[in-house]
Amino acid sequence: MAETIDHSTLSRLVEAGAVRGAHIVGQIGGWAVLIKYGMHERPLAAQRSRQVRLFRKFETLVSYLKGIGIARFDVDAANYDTTVATTSRRPDRAEALKRAHEAVAYDTWFREQVQASIDDPRPSIASDLVEAKFAAKRDALRKQMGIA
């Protein structure tokens, strides 16, 4: 695996004015970028995997480069293939998104139920009155059973 350069290092190199150029290379599945600085040319690495970062959309790559201060670059699209479908499948993310939607739906339902209870027009009885009423019933039952 070739040595790569990460985002923070690239940002520092751009701030220092050390970047001599950027070369965008089309590949199956997206676009990679090679950064030229000093006597080196290194590909940009993905943050977590440390593998060469692929941008699926050219526009996203251009926005990224402009955002860190690289507005000029050259493009090599010789190996870019638009006919190959390379959609990323993430069943784990799909399941997580499904659970998130279910949680929001449950939360909405629960809040509606609580609000319906609060808005219920039926009269409510204060707890001290209910407690006194049932205490009297318990005393009456104890007297009937002969338990004092």
Please report the domains of the chain, with CATH numbers, ordered by start residue.
Answer: 7-76 (3.30.2180), 91-145 (no CATH)
State the amino acid at position 74 in one-letter form. Answer: D
Q: Cα separation of 43 and 51, whole Å?
A: 9
pLDDT reported for residue 86: 53
Bigger pLDDT: 18 or 83?
A: 18
Bigger pLDDT: 100 or 124?
A: 100
Q: Cα separation of 84 and 9, whole Å?
A: 32
Q: What's the pTM?
A: 0.55
pLDDT class of 92 with cuts at 50, 70, 90:
confident
Pairing of strands 74-76, 30-37: unpaired
- Cβ–Cβ under 8 Å, residues 70 and 63: no
How many residues in total does the chain contain?
148
> Three-state DSSP class for 43?
strand
pLDDT reported for residue 49: 82
Work out the average pLDDT over 5-10.
Answer: 92
Residue with tokens 């860190």: 68
- Cβ–Cβ under 8 Å, residues 53 and 24: no
State the angle between helix axes of 7-16 and 58-68 in degrees (0 to 180), rounded to the nearest 10: 50
pLDDT class of 130 with cuts at 50, 70, 90:
very high
pLDDT reported for residue 48: 82
State the amino acid at position 141 in one-letter form. Answer: L
Work out the average pLDDT over 97-118.
Answer: 94
- Rounded mean pLDDT of the chain? 89
pLDDT reported for residue 111: 96
pLDDT class of 85 with cuts at 50, 70, 90:
low
pLDDT tens digits for 32-79? 999 999 899 999 998 888 889 999 899 999 999 999 999 999 999 988
Rounded to 5°, angle at Cα 122 from 121 and 123: 115
